[in-house]
Amino acid sequence: MRDAQADVARRAWIGCPRCADQNGCATCSVGSTCESHWRFLLAAEGRKLFVQCPGCWHRWWHDSGFGVGDRPHGIDPVVDFPGAGAAA
């Protein structure tokens, strides 16, 4: 099922290892931000991204490999905002 943190405003262009629906897609093969084959970006920890496939609901940690030149498109750092009432 869809993760509670899944937000269409936070997406990552990473191939899904389970359904691999990006295979054979011309847009994905050139590294563009495909309208069909994106994943929900749920969390980030260091260079690891926790993503969910909207096609098969598979969730997994993806090593983005920051610093080696293959950073996926469309990745924004995830910032944890303090909850209401936490401000001093």
Least distance to Zn ion, CB of residue 16, Å: 3
Tell me which residues touch Zn ion (CB under 5 A). 16, 18-19, 25, 27-28, 34, 36-37, 53, 55-56, 58
Q: How far apart are CA 31 and CA 14, in angstroms?
A: 10
C-alpha separations of 13 from 16, 65, 71, 78, 84 in Å: 9, 14, 10, 15, 31
Least distance to Zn ion, CB of residue 13, Å: 8
In the complex with Zn ion, the residue whose CB is nearer, 19 or 43, is: 19
Least distance to Zn ion, CB of residue 8, Å: 16
